[in-house]
Amino acid sequence: MNSELSSSPKPIPYGRQNITEDDVAAVVDTLQSDFLTQGPKVAAFERAFADYVGADFAVAVSNGTAALHLCAMALGVNEESRVITTPITFVASANCVRYCGGTVEFADIDPATALLDVEKVRQLIESKPKGYYSGIIPVDFAGNPVNLEEFRKLADAHGLWIIEDACHAPGGYFFDSNGEQQHCGNGKYADLAIFSFHPVKHIATGEGGMITTNDEKLYKELLKLRTHGITRDPELMEENHGGWYMEMQELGYNYRIPDMLCALGISQLQRADAGLARRKGIAKVYDEAFADVPGITTLQTTAAAFGEASATGHAYHLYVIQVQDRKGLYDFLREHNIFAQVHYIPAHTMPYYRSLGYQKGDFPAAEQYYAGCLSLPMYPTLTQEEQQYVIEKVKAFVGR
C-alpha cells in the first residue's frame, strides 16, 4: 500500500486520548449535578471497572501513583520491607515502596518480552533467607500480560504478596494452566492490581487511577486510606457520638477522584472494547510491516509462553521496536512530525536510585533493551494513512 501522506500535516504522538461528544455530555451532566466529588459517579465507575476486569472490588483514586502508594500502605510496607520490581517500568512502580520507607530491589527482564523475568526473581528470592522479601510488583509492560500464575506460585512458596501494575493492560488477558481466561487486574493471582487513567492510557480521565482486588479486607482498608484514614462505618468505629461522628483511625491521604472524572471514565469505559480492538488492528499492521525487515526487532507477546490462545490477550498500550541507531531514528521521526517515545529509561539508572546504591551495569538485559527501544504511535484514532506514513518513515531510516 502506498502512503497517501508524503508529509504529515499534523504531529503524530505515540499515544493520545479520544474524547467524544458523549464523553463531554457525561462530564457536563455531572457538573450540573449536586456532586462534583464524593457523589454517585465514583461508586458507579468502580462497579463498572471491577466488572470490566472481572474483579470483586474496585477503589477509584486520584491517579495511578496514588493507587500504588495506597496498595503499598494497605499491604503494610514499612522500613523493614524489601520489594522486588522491574527496572523497565514507569518509576512510580518502584517509588510506592519508597513512600512507605521500604527498600526497592530490581530484578532483570526477559529480553524477548521486556517483562520482569520470573526466573531472575526466583534466583533473587532463593539467594536470601526466608522472610527477607515482602512482595513483588510485576508490570504488564506494553500491555503484554505477565505470567501471574508463575509469580503467584513463587510468592506463595515464600509468603510474599503481589501488586500487579496493570496500567498498560486494561482488557488484557492470558489463559492459565487450567485453560481459564484470566483478565489483567481480576485479582485471581495478584493480591491487588492498579490502573491509571492518564491521557496516554487506554481509558482517560485526565488524572485518575483504580485499584482492583478480590480481598474484602484490603478493599475496606483502601477505602479508608483514600480519605485520610477516616471511617464513618459504625461497625468499624470505637465510639459513636451521633450522626456527625467519624473516626480518623490511621494516617491516610486525600487521594479521592472527583465525580466529573468518574463520569468521564464511565463514558470512556463503554468504548474500551472498540479501542482495544483498534489497538490490536494497529499492532497487526506493524507486525506485518516489520516482520522481514532486517534491523528491526519487535517484542514477543506472551503467547510464546502461554500458548496460541493467549496471542490475542495483549492490550497494546505500546508498540515497541528495537533498532541499532535508536537516537537516529527518534530524531529522524521527529523531523517528520512523528513523536515516538522511549519506554523506559531503566529505573535503577535514575540518579535517585543510583544514590541508593544501584549502578549502570546491574541489569544488563534491561540496559540493552533500553539502548534500542522505541515506542511507535499506538492509539485508537491513529488513521490508516498516518500509520502507513509512520511505517514508511521507519523503514526509510532503517534501510538507508
Angle at 138 between CA 364 and CA 131, to 5 degrees: 95
Of residues 146 and 160, the one with the C-beta less far from ligand PLP: 146
| Residue from 231, 227, 264, 228 nearest 44 by CA | 264
Least distance to ligand PLP, CB of residue 127, Å = 26
131-168 per-residue burial string, b: 16 or more CB within 10 A, e: under 16: eebbbbbbbbbbbbbbbbbbbbebbeebebbbbbbbbb
Residues that bind ligand PLP (CB under 6 A): 63-65, 89-90, 92-93, 139, 165, 167-168, 196, 198, 209
Of residues 65 and 113, the one with the C-beta less far from ligand PLP: 65
Annotate 196-245 with three-state secondary structure.
Answer: ECCCCCCCCCCCCEEEEECCHHHHHHHHHHHECCEECCCCCCCCCCCCCC
Cell of 183: 483478565
Least distance to ligand PLP, CB of residue 73, Å = 16
Least distance to ligand PLP, CB of residue 255, Å = 11
Least distance to ligand PLP, CB of residue 164, Å = 10
Which residues are registered as beta bridge partners of 52? Answer: none
Of residues 184 and 398, the one with the C-beta less far from ligand PLP: 184
Least distance to ligand PLP, CB of residue 79, Å = 23
Alpha carbons 101 and 117: distance in angstroms, whole number? 25
Of residues 65 and 182, the one with the C-beta less far from ligand PLP: 65
Of residues 317 and 393, the one with the C-beta less far from ligand PLP: 317
Q: Write the DSSP assignment of 55-120 as a string of letters.
A: -SEEEEES-HHHHHHHHHHHTT--TT-EEEE-SSS-THHHHHHHHTTPEEEE-PBPTTT-SB-HHH
Of residues 138 and 187, the one with the C-beta less far from ligand PLP: 138
Q: Which amino acid is at 9?
A: P
Cell of 32: 450540573
Catalytic residue, from 10, 41, 130, 201: name it.
Answer: 201
Alpha carbons 355 and 358: distance in angstroms, whole number? 7
Of all residues in this chain, which one has the CB nearest to ligand PLP in the complex? 64
Backbone conformation region of residue 229, classed left if phi is above 0, alpha if psi is from -120 to 50, else beta: left
Alpha carbons 59 and 49: distance in angstroms, whole number? 9
Least distance to ligand PLP, CB of residue 65, Å = 3
> Strand 161-165 to strand 192-196: parallel, antiparallel, or no bridges (unpaired)?
parallel
**3-state SS assignment for residue 12:** strand
Query: Does the active-site annotation cover 201?
Result: yes
Catalytic residues: 201
